[in-house]
Amino acid sequence: MKSIRSLFRRDTLRHDAVAGVVLGVESVPDGLAGGLLAGVNPLFGLYAYMVGTFAGGLTTSSAFMAVQATGAMAIVVADVGAVHGSSDPDRALFTLSVLTGVVMLAAGFLKLGSVLRFVSNAVLVGFISAVGVNIVLGQLSNFTGYEAEGANRVARAFNTIFNIGQAHFGTIVIGSATIILILVLERTKLGSLGLVVAVIGTSAVVTLLGWDVAQLRDIADIPRSLPMPMMPMFSAIPALVIPALALAFVGLVHGAGISSNFPNPDGTYPDASRDFIGQGAANVAVGFFQGMPVGGSMSASSLVKEAGAKSRVALLIAGIVMAVVVLLFGSTVGYIAMPALAGLLMTVGYRTIKPADIMAVWKTGNMQATVMAVTFALTMVIALQYAVVIGVGISMILYIITQSNSVTVKRWLVTDDGDLIETDPPAVVPSGEAIVLQPYGSLFFAAAAVFEEELPNVLPSSGNSVVILRLRGRTDIGSTFMDILLRYAKSLSDVDSKLVIISSDGRLLEQFDVTGVTATIGETNLYTSDERIGATLRRAHTDALSWIGSVVDDDSVE
């Protein structure tokens, strides 16, 4: 407790208190809506917001990261059959939260923050856009009062449209009025609190007029008490591994965005891996205190910062505010109208879709547009935890394809003054010349074919020449490239020319020995470069010209 008290500073406490109250009050309906979106007891969404915000405020590197149940994570939870089909779905949900936290903790301790760089923007835009559409479609039943049938949200949406005559008029009115009020009130001085007022206002209308509209108390008991600790259901862990990995990935992607966009009060940027640890710790705490999985929430983090937060104390106060609401107003919360929460979620879902981002990816190129479209389509028709895994796979494949096609080979001309001039390599190795080749790009095994095509062809007329391949800075080029070097060296040798290789890495030299490259080209044709850039190249070029001159002289004597 002493360490927590030390966070409170008199000069910033007032600003943090105001921001914390704003976030805490706004998070109550938002948390309930998150649970509703996940298809679980809405109270578990509220508990997740309460515990996650407080625990994350203590443990993340970012001072302003609000760790809450994001819409994308809630949609993933909604598709986890191992939770909803379990004999004890509540404990299975809490176990999923703990397991998600363990994955996040592992990612943080292993410093895997940089791994997210390999997920392409096209995949993220396609996935997030589909999540937004899924959020909207997933609330049609609560918005219309008609319980649709279908294998997925798209099928249920069409079922609702074809049976719109069976929708409940009062439910649609409350849902529509909530959306309109949110849009209007957010433009007033209420700002983000407008959505709270909108949900309370339309829910009050239902109660005062006695309308036959579903309320939160119809599907869940709202106790006026804080959640008690509950142990995970260990037997459910094997079935929850893939969903936990998917949830961890989605949460960490959102968290990484916060880490890179919200500097701490001292001006430094948070450490992404430490934020992984903080989100992981928050999930473990959430799981033990009956909450659904959580992650860094960009919207909540933006809200608390815009409300004037000066330190992480605002997040701690927000968690306390939510706890006070549960203790003092738990029974009142049960009167919130279900279509009001549906209207809130549909607004959130609509705002999740960013047309500007979609158009930017679409205009980037056919490959990026195709990847985005495929990711979007998959996310719409299959369970999201598998869509996430497939999306990551698509990113990896896209990365491999891009890297394998980005290899180029340039020729360096060495002038009499020792200057280097870069130009395109000749199509064919000419006779009696020293050619310096410099490859650019990744020499990943998938790029081997492109690299081989870039090399000048060796013809019978290519005799008495030296091809100098500069590999300075390369540490591992793999056996596929070694095979190419062996073939190229042999083709040069067959026409009385030779291959010379320049490298500075000892590991690469060992690979040359093991694969037979050294034996094929000769140890004297392997040059080890030092810290002087270009010195070894000029020496190898001078030796090559001397060799060519000696060969020509021998031929003339004969």
Q: If you ran DSSP here, which 8-state letter would residue 186 be given?
A: T
The residues spanned by each domain of the chain are 11-394, 408-557
| Unique residue bearing structure tokens 């000419």 | 430
Task: State residue 296 phi and psi, 5-degree precision.
Answer: -65, 125
What is the rounded CA–CA span in Å between residue 535 and residue 553?
27
Q: What is the DSSP string of 228-278?
A: PP----GGGHHHHHHHHHHHHHHHHHHHHHHHHH---TTSPPPPHHHHHHH
Taking residues 501-506, report their average pLDDT: 80
**Total residues found in the chain within this entry:** 558
Contacts 24+ apart (CB under 8 A), 387-396: 387/127, 387/130, 388/76, 388/127, 388/246, 388/249, 388/250, 389/242, 389/245, 389/246, 391/119, 391/123, 391/126, 391/127, 392/119, 392/123, 392/249, 394/120, 394/123, 395/118, 395/119, 395/120, 395/123, 396/118
What is the rounded CA–CA span in Å between residue 5 and residue 18?
18
- Grade residue 452 by pLDDT with cuts at 50, 70 and 90: confident
- The 10s digit of each residue's pLDDT in 466-475 is 999 998 877 7
Instruction: With beta carbons less than 8 A apart as the criterion, state whether 429 and 467 touch.
Output: yes
Out of 3.30.750.24, 3.40.50.10190, 1.20.120.420, 1.20.120.550, which CATH number does the structure's domain 408-557 have?
3.30.750.24
Give the 3-state secondary structure of residue 152: coil
| Unique residue bearing structure tokens 């249920």 | 156
Using only C-alpha atoms, the chain has a radius of gyration, in whole angstroms, of 31
Q: What is the pLDDT of residue 186?
A: 84
Pair of tokens at residue 344: 């809130």
| Unique residue bearing structure tokens 């490259």 | 517
- Grade residue 70 by pLDDT with cuts at 50, 70 and 90: confident
Kindly report the pTM of this predicted structure.
0.70
Residue type, 17: A
- Give me the percent of the chain exceeding a pLDDT of 70: 93
- Grade residue 2 by pLDDT with cuts at 50, 70 and 90: very low
What is the rounded CA–CA span in Å between residue 182 and residue 160?
24
62 backbone φψ class: left, alpha, beta (φ>0; ψ -120 to 50) = beta
- The 10s digit of each residue's pLDDT in 96-128 is 999 999 999 998 998 876 666 667 778 888 888
Spatial strand order of the sheet with 498-503 comes to 420-423, 408-414, 434-440, 466-470, 498-503, 526-528
Q: What is the pLDDT of residue 294?
A: 95
- The 10s digit of each residue's pLDDT in 133-175 is 988 898 898 899 988 888 778 888 999 999 988 999 999 999 9
**pLDDT of 1 higher than 50:** no
Alpha-carbon dihedral sign for residues 298, 299, 301, 302: positive
**Residue-averaged pLDDT of the chain:** 86
